[in-house]
Amino acid sequence: MAATPIFAGSSTGLVPLPGAVMTKNAYGIDVLSRPFYAPRASVGSYVPSAGTADIVYSNLKATGNYSITEDEGLTCKILVEYKGLLSGSIPEPLHSSGLSSGCASGSSVNTDVWAVRNLTMVFASPAKTKRYIAEGGAYGPPSVPDSSGVVLDHAWALVKHITDGTGRIAYGDTGLEYSYETQISNFTANPVPGTIYYECEATWKAIIVISTSA
């Protein structure tokens, strides 16, 4: 016959089990899954509420996510999720690129700039995503890396082949104007229960416009 845990010695009714697993998610938040035993008859009242500190790592708080598995005898196994920053310091943001298939491209134009005085070329970089932790509030990334890179190089490569109508390079003498804009989209910020942290994600792309003045 399986031994039934004794709950009388536990102030919370929860008996911690070995086998807790800690990982770091895509935002840089530490995630702990800790198993407990609890009495089946009143298991619901023993589940830690959101914001409750872990019994070992006080920086990690219960998120309110859990699973319950019936065990032998009059017990249940509860697997509780905790989140926070184990070290208390915010890690560097995690980046991923190539989330869209966009690439640098230019409009098809007549490169005789004197024949086409209202020339405009628009270039867009592939979308990039930053996942990061915000502290104390939900806000956009503190710094968005320059997404132009090869996009800008490609743009200027085309510009430098614009001629004045006689085959001579007219770059630098054509009234060309350049603008660069970072477009941030799909911004999300989810609070980590019981902490001052937010799991944030932002997607952005670089938009480059090169045009001539009429």
pLDDT tens readout for residues 55-72: 999 999 999 999 999 887
Q: What is the pLDDT of residue 5?
A: 45
Q: What is the pLDDT of residue 148?
A: 54
Task: Using the Cα atoms of residue 109, residue 113, residue 115 and residue 116 in order, give the sign of their dihedral.
Answer: positive
Where do the structural domains in the chain lie, given as residue ranges? 15-84, 94-212
Nearest in space to 50 (alpha carbons), one of 190, 188, 192: 192
Q: Tell me how far apart the alpha carbons of residues 35 and 42 are, in angstroms, rounded to a whole number.
A: 17
The pLDDT tens digits of the residues spanning 95-133 come to 444 333 233 333 434 444 444 455 677 777 778 888 888
Q: What is the pLDDT of residues 187-205, one digit of tens each?
A: 889 999 999 999 988 888 8
Helix (H, G, I), strand (E, B) or coil at 120: strand
